[in-house]
Structure 1
């Protein structure tokens, strides 16, 4: 499922300043990577040039996990190369994916791309679908049909299974950038890649927490902020496909299409957007994707039961009216 992320970072009043005996520097790095844009703000006691380190993180992520690079490890595995011994990053993403796949009852599934393309929601042309075709394609779908063996090689039940970590790799890349900054002793930063974020510490120059805005999913032309929250020592990821919907001819209600990776069929969803807070961005990224595909009541239950997550969900009720759901922990972070 293609993700549409509509979270924007709102950086309040960052300027160069000095405290009584200690200068603080605002380091800013922006650019393009992973098919999107990134912005990294860090505050340090010395002015730092972090660009080479940032480029290095993106380079190793791409070499391991990018399906857009023909000779990356994941691309070679998808082409049938069973000799690849995957690196530590691939192992971490694979094992986390397995865990979240189980926790979401299979709704997070990095093998679902075959179905997404077949139904016409991906980059490839839609094919004619019927029950026989769906049953055939389901042979290639299911993370439970893949293992990572003791020699760190991927073993598939079917060689045609296609792995795509698009719904978790961006979040993981942010986590690796955060680890790089941590290793350099930087305690205050805000990392944003394609709308996903990790914040640590605060804006010490202004002595304020990092503040981020979440887009209003019903603004189809001009972007507008729905709510603003304080984000400190947490990761945030959002998912939504609310700009791709159909109108029910009988009721006039809006519905978005999602793919059920367990049945192979498309299903109507009233969920417009999901924002997840977690301890790491890879986890937030994956859960935000999974909750978009789940029944809304099941999504509510999952985030209420998982104490490591906070959630903000925008959805349509049975009358077609927009409603909001927030966990208590999320509500506490909203800027009034």
Structure 2
């Protein structure tokens, strides 16, 4: 279950030069590439800090544990059938959170859908020609209930061909680990953005403003435009959508969106254009944003209305094909009018 980037880290005035006043803090910025995307980490500290080594270390350990794009990572070796791997604490934490959200979304969040993601041509594995018989066959390898973690932290699969892919939660989790690293250094004001997903703490004390981010308009194909601006304070944000990431079949010309329904095995065609989730941590926001794209709107509304820990902004098409917006009460409070 892979996702496209929907959020632009539009911190107002952030990339303009500003006076670094030690009374309000010094602005540190680290940018680069990781996890197949770009990142930007802004922190405000009493004195200038060089955080690059620690940032690189976080990405390195996340990749070694959870990246399906690295052949010798723990998850890649497990996917190839290596049952001797003892997973680390990060893998265990992501696995257990995935189990929880899998249950809370009635199975729509399912990291074992990676077999189908690959087959549809959206993952690191080999794309195959899909039909109903092949989909039915591959569904035998889908279901997080078919995997467990034993007491020695080995992954046990009911079928060796089951393929795990945590890409719909790992990026958010990496952001949470970066936040934990900054918290351990007693940094109280920062904004972490990786591939459009964010965690914010405190505010931009140099400008005495809350961190401000923009959410993209999902109907602007081929270009980017901001749909709304929000204040982000001590929260995590993740988004998902189908409008930019798709595949065109060379023979039929048919368009396949990248969200795969783990229950049907087919790429999901729905009226939902984009989902943005606010949560206490980015891994949770990441997973729910993806799962809401895989289910019907009514199911997404039911889950978010029954979960006080989530706030949501959903852009969708109604029965007349007109664009509509759904915002929870808590999300409305952070929108900048």
- Contact 2:110–2:143 under 8 Å retained in 1: yes
Alignment partner, residue 17 of structure 1 = 20
Alignment partner, residue 78 of structure 2 = 77
- Contact 1:259–1:267 under 8 Å retained in 2: yes
Q: 1:244 to 1:4 in 2, by over 3 A?
A: closer
Q: 1:128 to 1:238 in 2, by over 3 A?
A: closer
Mapping 1:22-101, distance limit 5 Å: 22=23, 24-101=25-102
Q: 1:52 to 1:256 in 2, by over 3 A?
A: closer
Displacement of 1:16: 2.8
Alignment partner, residue 8 of structure 1 = 8
**Which digits, 9 at most, give the CA deviation of each residue in 1:8-32, with x for residues without a partner?**
111223423326xx25200000000
Mapping 1:1-336, distance limit 5 Å: 1-14=1-14, 15-18=18-21, 22=23, 24-122=25-123, 124-130=126-132, 132-243=133-244, 258-336=259-337
Report the Cα distance in structure 1 between the residues aligned to 2:265 and 2:78, rounded to whole angstroms.
23
Alignment partner, residue 250 of structure 2 = none
Report the Cα distance in structure 1 between the residues aligned to 2:129 and 2:26, rounded to whole angstroms.
55
Q: 1:84 to 1:297 in 2, by over 3 A?
A: same
Secondary structure of the 2:204 match is coil
- Contact 1:42–1:188 under 8 Å retained in 2: yes
How many pairs are equivalent?
326
> TM-score by structure 1 length?
0.93
Q: 1:60 to 1:11 in 2, by over 3 A?
A: same
Q: 1:257 to 1:36 in 2, by over 3 A?
A: closer
Measured on the aligned residues, the alpha-carbon RMSD in Å equals: 1.7
Report the Cα distance in structure 1 between the residues aligned to 2:303 and 2:160, rounded to whole angstroms.
33
- Contact 2:24–2:205 under 8 Å retained in 1: no
Q: 1:155 to 1:334 in 2, by over 3 A?
A: same
Displacement of 1:118: 2.7
**Which digits, 9 at most, give the CA deviation of each residue in 1:45-102, with x for residues without a partner?**
0100000000000011111111111111101101100011100000000000000000
Report the Cα distance in structure 2 between the residues aligned to 1:58 and 1:266, rounded to whole angstroms.
30
Secondary structure of the 1:269 match is coil
Report the Cα distance in structure 2 between the residues aligned to 1:148 and 1:10, rounded to whole angstroms.
40
- Contact 2:2–2:259 under 8 Å retained in 1: no
Secondary structure of the 1:43 match is strand
Report the Cα distance in structure 2 between the residues aligned to 1:86 and 1:199, rounded to whole angstroms.
29
Q: Which runs of 5+ in 1 are unaligned?
A: 247-253
Report the Cα distance in structure 2 between the residues aligned to 1:154 and 1:277, rounded to whole angstroms.
31
> TM-score by structure 2 length?
0.93
Displacement of 1:129: 1.1
Displacement of 1:134: 2.4
Alignment partner, residue 249 of structure 1 = none
Report the Cα distance in structure 2 between the residues aligned to 1:266 and 1:166, rounded to whole angstroms.
17
Report the Cα distance in structure 1 between the residues aligned to 2:143 and 2:69, rounded to whole angstroms.
22
Q: Which runs of 5+ in 2 are unaligned?
A: 248-254
Runs of 4+ deviating beyond 6 Å: none
Q: 1:81 to 1:230 in 2, by over 3 A?
A: same
**Which digits, 9 at most, give the CA deviation of each residue in 1:110-141, with x for residues without a partner?**
111212233444463332412x3222211111
Report the Cα distance in structure 1 between the residues aligned to 2:130 and 2:25, rounded to whole angstroms.
60
**Which digits, 9 at most, give the CA deviation of each residue in 1:207-264, with x for residues without a partner?**
1110000000000122100000000000000000123579xxxxxxx99574321232
